[in-house]
Structure 1
Amino acid sequence: MNIVILDGYTLNPGDLDWTAVSELGNVKIYDRSKPEEIVERASNAEAILVNKAVLSAATLSQLPKLKYIGVTATGYNNIDMEAAKKQGIVVTNVKAYSSASVAQQTFALLLALVNRVETHSQSVFAGEWASSQDFSYSKSPLTELAGKTMGLIGLGDIGSNVAEIALAFGMKVIAYRKHPKPVQGIEMVSLEALFKNSDVVSLHCPLTEETKEIVNKNSLASMKPGALLLNTGRGPLINEHDLAEALTNGTIAGAGLDVLSVEPPKNDNPLLSAPNCVITPHVAWATFEARQRLMQLTADNLQTFQNGSPVNVVS
């Protein structure tokens, strides 16, 4: 089988081994592929592995040999699914490979906001501790998480992991989900009650028409002035102009984001200049261990397709 990997650098920037995939056929790996390069590179491909490179209907129509697309991610909005189905192309994705890593990053963002470790470390290396009259000083208010309320919008694999960590920190956990069910240690509440009562709101729901800009001017206005917002889900869950305004006006105290509505962001994204906003470049999923799992599960998906019993099919 001829296998083409269109944007392999995302999954494997050089610290992983492609052997699990390369054993399955004749593999050609490209670190990145521009839109205009895809058809030529994949012209003989029977299988394509892709992370974020876009496979439009026009592109797929020029790939008559293509039988399989393996998405090396959970989301597959970069694939024209209707076109793939019409051409009889099987599309698979990988789920739940990074739940622990994303939960870890959620708390990394939260701790960056409440402890400001980097700020204080930079201060020490700038000589401020050596020149201080006191044995201890702080550059910003420090906040204890124990006793605070963590509000989770979404309670799937990642949200559940975040809940466990929050409980271990001694936080109270409340949650909103479209179809609530009892979960020990977690109080299920309405969306309005969650925004109103949470000290920390963390987004872990899928992006749908219903959840798009679920964080907006009205929901932000209902939050506590000292509340923090975290997003390791999808950027469009937040109206970024409304959030930037809320941070500037002190409507809420801070935000920690691993995702934005457009990635990479444009220079005029208002959050890039908003106060008390920590932003990381969509890396929550990308720990070494998570990418190792993703590599193996990607290979497993392709192998089951070759064996005639595909799994994790989304087409």
Structure 2
Amino acid sequence: MRAVILDLDTMGEGISLEPLKACGIELSQWPATSPDQVKERIADAEIIITNKVVISAEAINDANKLSLICVLATGTNNIDMQAAETAGVAVKNVTAYGTPSISQHTFGLIIALANRLKQVDRDMTDGAWQRSTTISAFLHPMTQLAGKQLTIVGSGELGRAVARLAEAFGMQVVFAARPGNSNDSRPSLHEVLPNTDVLSLHCPLTEATKGLINADNLPLLKPGALLVNCARGGVINEVDALKALRSGQLGGLAVDVLPEEPPHDGHPLLDALSENLNLLVTPHIAWGTLEARQRVIELTAENINHHLN
């Protein structure tokens, strides 16, 4: 059975494809595939393996040997699901592969904001400690996490993993009600923001969560609260959040995601990185430990074996 990987480079270096090869498939691989190359590269494939390459209805209908599409991610928005169903093509994704990796990255960002590590590092580079008149150079106000409230939006596996880390640090964890779900008995985001010291987002991007954190509700947060987004770009209004950070309303802001990735046309948060702000931007790498990326391959191999059997 012939299989083709369309965008292997999106998985980074260091992973092994042996679990896929052990499925007994004939595997072709491409580092990247542009939209006009898709049709040719999947023409004889029975299995397509893709991360972000779009598989359109036209592509599905033209690939007359196709029986399975494997997505190297949780989201399947790059696949025309209706066309796949009509054509009898199974679509399989992977889930829960990066929980330890993403929760680690999330809490790393929280700690970095609380201790203002980026600003301290910048001052150290400028010789601030050498100029200090005391043994400790208290360069920026730091926040002790113990006893503080962490509000989490998104109570899935990832949100719960972050909650366990927070509890180990002595934080009080509150889960806000799911946005757009009127039957959720938990307190609404509007209700919990005034007592929130750290707000961490782990919800999907939907109509209910687009721009969830914005100029209307940012003032409800405790002055100096920390905001972390490792969910999806667009769940927060980044321009509003940046204004709140510059004004001191937010004490720190960290994101691992932006609305457009990669941000070829730039973004206000990227422009602001040169400013002396408690601001961290990482390039959608929270999921990217070698262990998590290898787990994606292993889970995809399981999907293929299940399909073949």
TM exceeding 0.5: yes
Displacement of 1:131: 4.2
Aligned to 1:159: 159
Stretches of structure 1 that go unaligned for 5 or more consecutive residues are 182-187, 308-315
CA distance in 2 between counterparts of 1:29 and 1:288 reads 19
- In 1, are the aligned partners of 2:128 and 2:137 still within 8 Å (CA)? no
1:61 alignment partner, SS class: helix
- In 1, are the aligned partners of 2:69 and 2:92 still within 8 Å (CA)? yes
CA distance in 1 between counterparts of 2:13 and 2:200 reads 32
- In 2, are the aligned partners of 1:120 and 1:138 still within 8 Å (CA)? no
Aligned to 1:111: 111
Displacement of 1:132: 3.3
Aligned to 1:185: none
Aligned to 1:78: 78
1:236 alignment partner, SS class: coil
1:105-184 to structure 2, matched below 5 A, reads 105-178=105-178, 180=184
CA distance in 2 between counterparts of 1:58 and 1:247 reads 46
Aligned to 2:288: 286
Deviations 1:97-137 (A, max 9, x none): 11111111111111111113344345445544334333221
Number of residues of Structure 1 aligned to a counterpart in Structure 2: 300
1:247-262 to structure 2, matched below 5 A, reads 247-262=245-260
RMSD value, Cα: 1.8
CA distance in 2 between counterparts of 1:7 and 1:170 reads 42
Which one of the candidate residues 223, 226, 231 is aligned to 2:224?
226
Aligned to 2:28: 28
Which one of the candidate residues 203, 206, 210 is aligned to 1:205?
203
1:86-97 to structure 2, matched below 5 A, reads 86-97=86-97
CA distance in 1 between counterparts of 2:194 and 2:119 reads 30
Displacement of 1:9: 1.8
Displacement of 1:161: 0.6
Displacement of 1:69: 0.5
Which amino acid in 1 is paired with 2:247? N
CA distance in 2 between counterparts of 1:139 and 1:233 reads 31
CA distance in 2 between counterparts of 1:217 and 1:129 reads 37
Q: Which moved more, 1:58-67 or 1:90-99?
A: 58-67
Cα 1:127–1:239 change in 2 (3 A) is closer
Which one of the candidate residues 276, 279, 293 is aligned to 2:278?
276
Deviations 1:117-167 (A, max 9, x none): 344345445544334333221332111111111000111101101111111
Q: Which moved more, 1:25-34 or 1:130-139?
A: 130-139
Q: TM-score, normalised by structure 1?
A: 0.89
2:28 alignment partner, SS class: strand
Displacement of 1:27: 0.3
Percent of residue pairs bearing the same amino acid type: 43
Displacement of 1:207: 1.9
Cα 1:123–1:252 change in 2 (3 A) is closer
CA distance in 2 between counterparts of 1:63 and 1:189 reads 49
1:37-52 to structure 2, matched below 5 A, reads 37-52=37-52
CA distance in 2 between counterparts of 1:132 and 1:222 reads 37
Which amino acid in 2 is paired with 1:43? A
- In 1, are the aligned partners of 2:193 and 2:220 still within 8 Å (CA)? yes
Cα 1:89–1:242 change in 2 (3 A) is same
- In 1, are the aligned partners of 2:116 and 2:278 still within 8 Å (CA)? no
Deviations 1:186-240 (A, max 9, x none): xx42211222211111111122211221112112121122111111111121122
Cα 1:254–1:125 change in 2 (3 A) is closer
Deviations 1:73-108 (A, max 9, x none): 111111111111111110011111111111111111
- In 2, are the aligned partners of 1:35 and 1:53 still within 8 Å (CA)? yes
Alignment of 1:192 onto 2:190:
yes
Stretches of structure 2 that go unaligned for 5 or more consecutive residues are none
CA distance in 1 between counterparts of 2:244 and 2:136 reads 32
CA distance in 1 between counterparts of 2:138 and 2:61 reads 60
Displacement of 1:249: 2.7
1:107 alignment partner, SS class: helix
CA distance in 2 between counterparts of 1:153 and 1:195 reads 11
CA distance in 1 between counterparts of 2:59 and 2:98 reads 30
- In 1, are the aligned partners of 2:118 and 2:278 still within 8 Å (CA)? no
Aligned to 1:98: 98
